[in-house]
């Protein structure tokens, strides 16, 4: 299996999750500006969407979208998903929120078409981080065990810190907790971000 990633991009969440799951995989870095893999291939021939993450399974099937890849990892490592009747649905609910309500405003904040748009994006991120901060149950989003959604939230917080945006309590301690996890440290190291 091969994970196509760009250092520090949202694909870091999938990278962390694969390590948390203890799955074997190869990493291939992609230069997103020119859509080329580090081994010189045209990335759009691998993922026609042209963005990371992309996961090529051992049977050659392509998986894209953070929500889908993270769910797939959690299906292989159930410890990375909340339990209970609605566990899987709660996971999808949280991943969908992170992907559409938090990740997307960051794109507007990183690549604004105006100063006003950047300001609105910063306010939106602040409000939505506030919502997530109230959802933390114990150490992580779903209790005392980390899930694949925590890996995605960690990446969003990393972006917030890099952008100088404030991170509401108790998320700073959550961030430190995530960074202390061996899977996170390994992924950061492999992406040259440690
Ligand atoms: N809908 C996709 C969005 C993924 C995405 O935004 N990837 C960014 C990096 S964080 C990317 O590769 N951008 C390059 C591009 O769109 O050209 C998902 O949730 O997986």
Q: What pLDDT is attached to residue 93?
A: 98
Break the chain down into helix, strand, coil percent, rounded to 5: 55, 10, 35
d(C-alpha 70, C-alpha 83), whole Å: 16
Asked if residue 101 has its Cβ within 6 Å of ligand 1, the reply is: no
| Cβ count within 10 A of residue 149 | 30
Asked if residue 156 has its Cβ within 6 Å of ligand 1, the reply is: no
Asked if residue 10 has its Cβ within 6 Å of ligand 1, the reply is: yes
Q: Which of 3, 7, 11, 51 to mutate to test the pocket of ligand 1 (most atoms within 8 A of CB)?
A: 51
d(C-alpha 7, C-alpha 46), whole Å: 18
DSSP string, 45-111: HH-TT--S-EEE-TTS-EEESHHHHHHHHHHH-GGGS--STTHHHHHHHHHHIIIIIIIHHHHHHHS
Asked if residue 77 has its Cβ within 6 Å of ligand 1, the reply is: no
Distance in Å, CA 84 to ligand 1 centroid: 31
Question: Atom 3 of ligand 1 has which residue's CA nearest to it?
Answer: 65
Alpha-carbon torsion angle 158, 163, 164, 170, nearest 10:
-30
Q: What stretch of H or E contains 123? A: helix 115-135
Q: Which of 52, 71, 111 to mutate to test the pocket of ligand 1 (most atoms within 8 A of CB)?
A: 52
- Spatial CA neighbour of 52 closest among 35, 76, 39: 35
Q: Contact 63/69 with Cβ under 8 angstroms?
A: yes
pLDDT tens-place values along the chain, 194 residues long:
999 999 999 999 999 999 999 999 999 999 999 999 999 999 999 999 999 999 999 999 999 999 999 999 999 999 999 999 999 999 999 999 999 999 999 999 999 999 999 999 999 999 999 999 999 999 999 999 999 999 999 999 999 999 999 999 999 999 999 999 999 999 999 999 99
**10 CA: nearest ligand 1 atom:** 10
């Amino acid at each position: 299996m091969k994970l196509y990633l760009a250092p520090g991009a949202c694909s870091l969440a999938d990278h962390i999750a694969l390590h948390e799951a203890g799955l074997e995989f190869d990493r291939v870095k992609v230069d997103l500006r020119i859509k080329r893999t580090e081994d010189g291939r045209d990335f759009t021939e691998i993922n026609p969407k042209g963005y990371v993450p992309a996961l090529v399974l051992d049977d050659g099937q392509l998986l894209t979208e953070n929500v889908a890849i993270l769910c797939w990892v959690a299906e292989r490592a159930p410890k990375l998903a909340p339990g209970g009747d609605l566990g899987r649905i709660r996971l999808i609910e949280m991943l969908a929120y992170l992907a559409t309500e938090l990740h997307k405003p960051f794109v507007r904040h990183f690549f604004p078409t105006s100063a006003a748009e950047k300001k609105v994006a910063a306010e939106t991120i602040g409000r939505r981080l506030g919502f997530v901060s109230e959802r933390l149950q114990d150490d992580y989003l779903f209790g005392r065990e980390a899930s694949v959604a925590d890996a995605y939230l960690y990446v969003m917080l990393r972006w917030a810190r890099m952008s100088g945006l404030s991170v509401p309590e108790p998320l700073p301690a959550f961030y430190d907790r995530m960074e202390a996890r061996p899977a996170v440290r390994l992924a950061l190291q492999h992406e040259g971000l440690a």
